[in-house]
Amino acid sequence: MRTFIAVDLSEGIRAKIKDIQQHFFDLGIVENVKLKFVNPRQAHQTVKFLGDVPKDRVEGVKRALEGISQKPFDIVLKGVGFFPEASPEKVRNIRVVWVGMEKGVEELKALQREVESKMHALGFPLEKRFSSHVTLFRVKKGSRAGSSDEIGRLLKKIAELREVEVGEMRVDELKLKHSTLTPKGPIYEDVYVKRLEEQE
């Protein structure tokens, strides 16, 4: 099973993400620049991507997640940015456009480190780098696929939304998810839900 561990976003934040995506859709560059939007109803913060996990290993992953000790915490999502990061005058290739996190970054990193440690103990490779962001869309062929005018409009819109308020939510669940790839995009299914609990 193609599997990953994630924090699902609230319905309010997902609605706001849909609104932000519409700003980019309205630019009229989707086809030429090959923008591939994430389904806002499935928007999430990935904590750990595990890859294809045999069914006989899934139970071990569940048991490891059951031992997570991170307490619930609040996050605030704010601002639009892109990868690879660069100043506008040095942009060569845009791959991913995302919403960033203003509050809860350290708590999320602590959760990710705990998950990383437990998964590494099960034989999963360590992540090279963790980034707290929620993907809005991917540029399938890189920004070189469009004209300089189209890329300029894309960068201008990103700049306009750099400080946009996206929303606040409580993180009190961690989910193990199964992803099925389809021509219309991935379909996610919850395999296991770990409730984060206040420590006594």
Residue 30 corresponds to which amino acid? V
DSSP structure class, residue 186: -
Which two three-digit tokens encode residue 151? 């890329």
Enumerate the active-site residues. 44, 133
> What gap in Å lies between CA 45 and CA 134, rounded to an integer?
6
Q: Which residues pair with 187 in a beta bridge?
A: 180
- Answer left, alpha or beta for residue 138, where phi above 0 means left and psi between -120 and 50 means alpha: beta
DSSP secondary structure of 84-125: S---GGG-----EEEEEEEESHHHHHHHHHHHHHHHHHTTPP
**How many other C-beta atoms can be found within 10 angstroms of the C-beta atom of residue 17?**
24
Distances (CA, A) of 96 to 68, 82, 93, 158, 177: 30, 5, 10, 12, 22
